[in-house]
Amino acid sequence: MTQAKTAVGIDIGGTGIKGGVVDLSTGEMITPRVKLPTPEGGKPDDIAETTKKVLEQLEADQSLPVGIDFPAVVRHGKTMSAANVSKKWIGFDAEKFFEQTIGHPILFVNDADAAGYAEAEYGAAKGRSGAIMLTTLGTGIGSALIVDGRLVPNTELGHLEIDGHDAEKRAAYSAKEREDLTWEHWGKRLTKYYSTLEKLFSPDLFIVGGGVSKQFDEWSHFVKIETEMIPAKFLNNAGILGSAALAAQQRS
């Protein structure tokens, strides 16, 4: 089957559900972005209904592939974890449920995986081969691993145990804010985190996403590692772009 030229991407976050139609050759959105508030409590029924409303407001061609990303481990369409949403998502057959609610085949993916794929296809890592790791530094640490253009899903590398601690509890941007760390002190923690990833994966490139990537020049020189590190290109739209592209790839 010939791969679609456009696809729909929908990004489900803790505060908002965003969607757009994406030109798959350029990675640009060709419709205005639609955003609706994430329902309080984050239950599957409510989120699926809001996602349906986002799709309706996009007025996209019903034949287009639809990708939806979500902050959870997603294995064969089932959500195996829940972050900042209802515990009802754990072990939930999300992909099938959303297809029934929306009346349309979809691909359900992890949000960091979608963002990483967007950066590899259209963003900071476009044209790069080898092992590319995206990490998002925010409330926690999200991660994505792309090897020669292929996504290795659900890496969840923010939860590596380093020195007896869940890595994100000490190295996420929230830890810097919570403990009022200087850029230099936080950089030392990031050095420990990224050097551990170097030992485990020997990546060719690190891409750093999350809001703090806007301040990359203020703190990146405090991270003493051998692997090249660059800021992500996409912020709020990365999930939309990546989930759309992955849905089109699955259908082709």
The pLDDT value recorded for residue 4 is 81
Handedness of CA 121, 122, 127, 131 (dihedral sign): negative
Count CB neighbours of 138 within 10 A. Answer: 17
Q: Tell me the pLDDT tens digit for each residue of 65-85.
A: 999 999 999 999 999 998 767
Q: In the chain, where do the E strands start and end?
A: 6-12, 16-23, 28-29, 34-37, 66-70, 74-75, 78-79, 107-110, 131-137, 141-147, 150-152, 161-162, 165-166, 205-209, 229-231
The pLDDT value recorded for residue 9 is 98
The pLDDT value recorded for residue 84 is 67
Go through the domains of the chain in sequence order and give each one's CATH number.
Answer: 6-114+236-251 (3.30.420.40), 127-231 (3.30.420.40)
The pLDDT value recorded for residue 2 is 61
> Distance between CA atoms of 246 and 86, rounded to whole angstroms?
26
> Distance between CA atoms of 117 and 78, rounded to whole angstroms?
20
Question: 16 CB contacts (<8 Å, ≥6 apart)?
Answer: 35, 36, 37, 38
**Positions in the chain short of pLDDT 50:** none
8 A C-beta contact, residue 64 and residue 7? yes
> Distance between CA atoms of 242 and 146, rounded to whole angstroms?
12
129: amino acid identity, one letter? S
The pLDDT value recorded for residue 217 is 97
The pTM (predicted TM-score) of the whole model is: 0.92
227-244: string of b/e by CB count within 10 Å (b at 16+)? bebbbbbbeebbbbbbbb
8 A C-beta contact, residue 85 and residue 71? yes
The pLDDT value recorded for residue 251 is 77
